[in-house]
Amino acid sequence: MNVQQPGPGEVSFRAGETRCSLGLGLYGWGEDPASAAGEVRLLRQALEIGYRVFDTAEMYAQGGSERVLGQALAQAQRAGLRREELFVVSKVLPQHASAAGVVAACERSLQRLGLDRIDLYLLHWRGATPLAQTIQGFEQLLQRDCIRQWGVSNFDLADMQELMAVPGGAACAANQVHYSPSARGVEWDLLPWQRQQGMAMMAYSPFDQGGLVNHPALQELARRHLATPAQIALAWVLRQPGVMAIPKAGRALHLQLNWAASKLVLNAQDLADLDRSFAAPRGKMALSMR
Ligand SMILES: NC(=O)c1ccc[n+]([C@@H]2O[C@H](COP(=O)([O-])OP(=O)(O)OC[C@H]3O[C@@H](n4cnc5c(N)ncnc54)[C@H](OP(=O)(O)O)[C@@H]3O)[C@@H](O)[C@H]2O)c1
C-alpha cells in the first residue's frame, strides 16, 4: 500500500488518507433551538476559515450537535463545498454498542447529519458490551457504506491491546483521548504504541475545557510568541506527529485564533520551559477522561 507521508499540519490515517491535524469539537453545540441559527452561521465561518474536520456525537445535546452540523454542511455544500473535503466524526454511546445497536445509532446520526456516510465513527467509551459485538456492527456499517472508517475513544493501551486481539479489531483507525499540556499520561505508552501502529490519535479537550486558557505557565511563552496562552497549548499538542486536536470554540475570534495557532512553531527552549511547568510522565498513569 502506498501510504502518503503527512505534510505539516496533517495526520495520516491507516487507510492512507491524510487530513488536517486541527478540527473543531462540537460538544455543547445544538443544545438550545433558539441558538441554532447562530451556531449554523458560526459553523459556516469555521468552514470559510478552513476547518474541514468536525467532531460530534449522538450524546452531544442528544443529537442537537449533529443537527446543527448537518444544517451547516448542507448549506455549505449547496454553496459549492465538496463532500470529499469534509471529515465528519461522530460517536456511538456504549449503551448502543451491540451489533444491532451500533447500526441503528449510526442510522439515526446519519439522519440528523443529513449525510449518507460518516467518515470516522467511534465507540465513545468502553461499556459492558463485548468488543466483538461492536466490531460486528462497525463491519456491517462499512459493508453498507454508512461509515468510511471506525475507531474508539477513551481506550488506554490495555484496552487497545484487547481490541487488537478481537477478530477485525486491527482495523481500528483512531483513538480519541484527552491530551493537553497538563494531561500527558498518553506520552508514556499509548501515543508511542499508536504511532508504531500508524493509528491516529485525536486529542480532545486540549485546553482542559477552558482550564488552561489563562494558565500562568503559558503566559510567558504567549508573550514571547505574541500569542495567547490557549494558542501555545494548542500548538504544543499539534506539534506531535500523528496527533489531531479538536478544540471546541464557540466564537468567531476563538475559531480564528485556534486556526492561527496551528501555524505557530515552538522551539526547543519553549518545549523545555513547558516541560518544567507540565512534567512529562515518568511512569504509567491512568488515562485522563473528561
Ligand atoms: N471523546 C470524548 O470522550 C470527548 C470528551 C470531551 C471532549 N471531546 C471532544 O473534544 C472537543 C473539545 O474538548 P472540550 O470541548 O471538552 O474542551 P476544550 O476544547 O479543551 O476547551 C473548550 C473551551 O475553551 C475555550 N476556547 C476555545 N478556544 C479558545 C481560545 N483561542 N482562547 C480562549 N478560550 C478558548 C472555549 O470557549 P468558547 O466556547 O467560548 O470559544 C471553551 O470554553 C469537544 O467539543 C468534543 O468534540 C470528546
Mean pLDDT of the chain: 96
> How far does residue 143's CA lie from ligand 1's centre (Å)?
33
**Do residues 231 and 11 lie in contact, with contact meaning Cβ atoms separated by under 8 Å?**
no
What pLDDT shows up at residue 16? 86
- How far apart, in whole angstroms, are the C-alpha atoms of residue 70 and residue 73? 5
Nearest to 278, CA basis, from 260, 266, 264 = 266
Q: Can you give the pLDDT at residue 5?
A: 52
**Residues in Cβ contact with 19 at an 8 Å cutoff, skipping those fewer than 6 apart:** 10, 11, 13, 52, 53, 87, 244
pLDDT tens digits along 55-100: 999 999 999 999 999 999 999 999 999 999 999 999 999 999 999 9
Say how far apart CA 49 and CA 112 lie, in whole Å: 24
Report the alpha-carbon distance of residue 276 to residue 34 in Å, rounded: 45
Helix (H, G, I), strand (E, B) or coil at 222: helix
What pTM, to 2 d.p., does this model score? 0.97
The verdict on the CB of residue 182 being under 6 Å from ligand 1 is: no
Pocket test for ligand 1, best of 205, 225, 243 (most atoms within 8 A of CB): 205
Q: Provide, rounded to the nearest whole percent, the portion of the chain with pLDDT above 70.
A: 97
Q: Rounded mean pLDDT of 96-121?
A: 98
- Structural contact between residues 262 and 234, judged by C-beta atoms closer than 8 angstroms: yes
pLDDT digit string, tens, across residues 146-183: 999 999 999 999 999 999 999 999 999 999 999 999 99
User: Distance between CA 64 and CA 27 in Å, rounded?
Assistant: 10
- In whole angstroms, give the CA distance from residue 130 to residue 2: 34
Distance of alpha carbon 67 from alpha carbon 222, whole angstroms: 36
Looking at per-residue pLDDT, the higher value among 204 and 2 belongs to 204
